[in-house]
Amino acid sequence: MLFNKKVLTLIICSLLLFPQFALSAEVNILSERQEFLLRPFLDIFEEKTRIKVNVVYLKKGSMERLKQQPGSVDVLLTVDIGNLTAIADAGLFQPIHSKTIVQNVPANFRDPKGLWTALTARARVIYYSKERVKLNELSTYEALVDSGFKGRVCTRSGYHKYNVALISSMIAEHGLSAAKKWLQGLKNNLARKPQGNDRGQVKAIYQGQCDLALGNTYYMGKMLEREDQRAWAASVGIFFPNQNDRGTHMNVSGGAITKAAKNKNEAIKLLEFLSGDLAQYMYSLVNHEYPVKYGVHFSGIVKSFGTGQEGIKNGVFKQDQRSLYDIGSFRRQAIKLLDEVNFDN
């Protein structure tokens, strides 16, 4: 993190050259994003806007919190399209009316009714052993069920939100019957019972327990930052599936304005800031995520993802352009399929 901290310090110092005024307004955030990630953004936002930011950090249970204390939260910041869709369906968000956000964030990364907006993106990729897998063996998510991968695939629980979103995208692309057949085939090719987190799958590849794993891109950056995990990261490559058809599945972190927000104007200003050039670049730098705003530069680590894969330069790859709203709408069917194939057992 030394490089990141130095760069962030320079950014913050250059932008905080404003007279010190008393903060004249406020906005209340409920965040499932960690404090280390948000705090640099919020410090700059406070100085630029004179809006005080109050944050409650919560690992899970945001929907229950919004139902129990509806007037205490103006903005929800969370990860995964399933979370955003479920809370929107519960009627706990209100439309975001902002031309700035419409300009900053592509339509497929926004709710069609304006109930939420993506703020960062992450790709669900295939981590593969550099020693035991050749690039020409890999192609698509669909091909992971081929007989050549029998006993070679690792994954975390199928019920984890990142995998539920991927399964939802398979339903959206191929229909329920084909998605179920694919899920059963993936289960048949597992090297072990689903367990651990995304980094744990890379560790399993390093230890020779499997050759392939599903995981999010930004975990590569996180592993490279930790001395005890760099060997894991060095043992694998990143493959972006489906580059010759629909593109690689994307998931997001996002933000929304609560239905009971007391500081709506301030909430809009915050989301506009988080979707702007500076915050988008900082997301890439701090957490190795992809900006959702077109034209924002990637960090060096993010550029390195996919190195060696044909057609991918500076981290730019073909993304699935299907609306995340559509993908999120299939989350219940995805969970039902997991039950039907008894995926985790």
**pLDDT, tens only, 313-342:** 999 999 999 999 999 999 999 999 999 999
Q: Pairing state of beta strands 51-57 and 75-79?
A: unpaired
Cβ-in-10-Å burial (0-12, 13-18, 19+) of 144 comes to buried
φ, ψ of residue 45 to 5 degrees: the values are: -60, -45
- Same domain as 131, residue 9: no
Indicate which CATH number applies to the domain containing 165: 3.40.190.10
Q: Containing domain of residue 103, as a range? A: 2-121+250-298
- Same domain as 329, residue 319: yes
- What SS3 state is found at 242? coil
φ, ψ of residue 8 to 5 degrees: the values are: -65, -40
Residue 264 is encoded by which pair of tokens?
A: 């709506």
Residue 319 is encoded by which pair of tokens?
A: 């993304």
- Total structural domains within the chain: 2
Report, as an integer, the average pLDDT of 296-324.
Answer: 93
Contact 164, 85 (CB under 8 A): no
Confidence of residue 6 (pLDDT cuts 50, 70, 90): low
Residue 128 is encoded by which pair of tokens?
A: 């593969």
- Same domain as 241, residue 153: yes
Per DSSP, 243 falls in state T
**pLDDT, tens only, 245-265:** 999 999 999 999 999 999 999
The 3-state secondary structure of 179-198, one letter per residue: HHHHHHHHHHCECCCCCCCH
- Same domain as 94, residue 184: no
Contact 23, 51 (CB under 8 A): yes
Residue 58 is encoded by which pair of tokens?
A: 């919560």
- Same domain as 228, residue 113: no
**pLDDT, tens only, 138-197:** 999 999 999 999 999 999 999 999 999 999 999 999 999 999 999 999 999 999 999 999
